[in-house]
């Protein structure tokens, strides 16, 4: 897994999500719960290129009457 959470020093509830290979930060100060969610999303995008969080096809759209 190239993604990792790191506790930020000096902050009470602050975690950072980074890519261990490129050292790129994806979140700088988030809660542990949100950091884990971010890692799950990044893994989904990494392993499934067709992953769509919210599909536009599922939304219904009303036609406007002129």
Side by side, which strands form the sheet with 25-30? 3-7, 15-19, 25-30
Least Cα distance to 38 among 27, 48, 49, 46 occurs for 27
Q: What is the pTM of this model?
A: 0.70
Map tokens 């490129």 to a residue: 22
- pLDDT by 10s per residue, the chain, length 66: 699 999 999 999 999 999 999 999 999 999 999 999 999 999 988 888 887 777 666 556 666 666
- Copy the structure tokens of residue 58: 């599922």
Torsion of CA 14, 25, 20, 51, to 10 degrees: 100
């Amino acid at each position: 897994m190239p993604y990792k959470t790191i506790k930020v020093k000096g902050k009470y509830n602050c975690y950072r999500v980074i890519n261990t290979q490129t050292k790129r930060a994806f979140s700088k100060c988030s809660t542990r719960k949100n950091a884990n969610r971010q890692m799950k999303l990044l893994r989904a995008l990494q392993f499934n290129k067709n992953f769509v969080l919210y599909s536009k096809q599922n939304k219904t759209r009303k036609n406007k009457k002129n």
